[in-house]
């Protein structure tokens, strides 16, 4: 189980470390990542039907989809989609 307060603090650290952060209510961010326009997509509160299709694209493009603990996952509600080494760094920052 992920400690919500710790993850919130981790999100705040992560946002401060980013050049630019955006929020969208659709799969635009996922598609930008797959096309190489962004480095990572981080989501919370998503359902399996929101993100499962992206798992195939992630694998095909050398990215990983994992939860906030770094475990492979495509069922939500937490999701990090990124290159494996960046996903690992994001998990470390979230758990700071």
Domain 4-95: which CATH number of 3.40.50.1460, 3.40.190.80, 1.10.10.10, 3.20.20.70: 3.40.190.80
CB contact set of 96 (below 8 Å; sequence gap of 6+): 6, 9, 10, 13
pLDDT band at 22 (very low <50, low <70, confident <90, very high): low
pLDDT band at 82 (very low <50, low <70, confident <90, very high): very high
Residue 37 has pLDDT above 80, yes or no: yes
pLDDT of residue 10: 81
Mean residue pLDDT of the chain comes to 84
63 or 96, greater pLDDT: 63
Domain boundaries, the chain: 4-95
Residue 82, SS3 per DSSP? strand
DSSP summary character for residue 67: -
pLDDT of residue 47: 87
């Amino acid at each position: 189980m992920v400690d919500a307060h710790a993850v919130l603090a981790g999100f705040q650290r992560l946002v401060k470390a980013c050049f630019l952060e955006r929020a969208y209510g659709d799969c635009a961010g996922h598609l930008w990542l797959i096309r190489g326009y962004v480095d990572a997509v981080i989501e919370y509160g998503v359902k399996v039907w929101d993100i499962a299709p992206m798992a195939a694209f992630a694998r095909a493009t050398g990215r990983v989809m994992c939860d906030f603990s770094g475990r492979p996952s495509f069922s939500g509600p937490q999701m990090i989609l990124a290159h494996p080494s960046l996903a690992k760094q994001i998990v470390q920052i979230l758990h700071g």
